[in-house]
């Protein structure tokens, strides 16, 4: 039983790291295309769709449907710590971790 839990724990850490790598790449791509330091709602929704596409394509697990625009709006309110209506890289990573 311990061996199974150890393997599962290792998978969770590996998956979390992969989600972070995917999130960083997508954040940089959207940020560079938008020409801003932070991501607006429109940028974030595109980023979420890209991340879900990559996660579903590259990580072994059941496929997940991306959240609705309203779910993204609601979560932005929780993750936008400085209340500027945009998400910084750290806020974005927290946002993605809560979604996945």
pLDDT digits (tens, 9 = 90+) for 9-39: 688 888 889 889 999 999 999 999 989 899 9
- Distance in angstroms (rounded) separating the CA atoms of residues 78 and 58: 28
Residue 60 has a pLDDT of 75
The Cα–Cα gap between 39 and 36 comes to 7
Task: Round to the nearest angstrom and report the end-to-end CA distance of the chain.
Answer: 26
Checking if the pLDDT of 41 tops 90, the result is yes
The pLDDT value recorded for residue 7 is: 55
| pLDDT of 71 | 95
- Domains in the chain with CATH codes: 2-99 (1.10.238.10)
Confidence of residue 2 (pLDDT cuts 50, 70, 90): very low
DSSP summary character for residue 73? H
């Amino acid at each position: 039983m311990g061996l199974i839990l150890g393997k599962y724990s290792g998978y969770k850490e590996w998956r979390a790291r992969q989600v972070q790598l995917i999130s960083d790449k997508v954040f940089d791509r959207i940020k560079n295309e938008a020409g801003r330091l932070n991501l607006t709602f429109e940028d974030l929704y595109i980023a979420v769709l890209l991340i879900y596409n990559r996660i579903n394509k590259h990580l072994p697990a059941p496929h997940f449907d991306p959240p609705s625009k309203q779910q993204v709006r609601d979560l932005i309110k929780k993750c936008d710590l400085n209340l500027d209506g945009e998400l910084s890289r750290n806020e974005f990573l927290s946002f993605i971790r809560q979604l996945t």
